[in-house]
Amino acid sequence: MVTVEPLCPELPEHPATKYVAGFLGSPSMNFFNATLVAAEGGLAVRLGDGTLLALPAGRRDRLAEKRDQPIIVGLRPEHMNRALQGDARPGLARYDANIELLQPTGSRTYATFKLGGTEVIAELQAHDVTEINQRVELTANMNRAVLIDPVSEKVL
């Protein structure tokens, strides 16, 4: 008889490599090519179209030596949400999205749009977005972003 160990519950949130980050979860993690840059006294990732997503202050010291270098950013669909008015929690980066595709699943809706020139999927509440071509403000929880070295594909 073969014994199978249960999946480590931290693995989807703290993968060691890009392969594992992309393999786990459905829908899979969104990946963006970016550059790590200094911004507003901290660090941010600059996506291909110039969009800046600020990183939380707690990540600044660990990533300082990677500034001005290419990086891959991974964000799970469930960490991209409809922006709430007045929500200024640390680590939430706001951006505008033009919704291109909606896939309702009951209590959730998968919304497809372009961010930084890359097609991505966000997992939203069922009625956060109701029609194609709707322009909405979303947030990316950069506290949960996975930052990956583009050469080794290891998580930083």
Most confident of 7-11, 31-35, 65-69: 31-35
* Mean of all residue pLDDT scores within the chain: 88
Assigned CATH for 18-148: 2.40.50.140
* Helix/strand/coil for 9: coil
Read off the pLDDT of residues 37-60 as tens digits, 9 standing for 90 and up.
Answer: 998 888 999 999 999 999 998 887
Q: Where are the domains of the chain?
A: 18-148
- Note the pLDDT of residue 4: 46
Query: 144, exposed or middle or buried, with CB in 10 Å at 0-12, 13-18, 19+?
Result: middle
Distance CA(40)–CA(61), nearest Å, equals 15
Q: Is the pLDDT of residue 1 over 80?
A: no
Contact 72, 151 (CB under 8 A): no
For position 7, what pLDDT does the model report?
Answer: 52
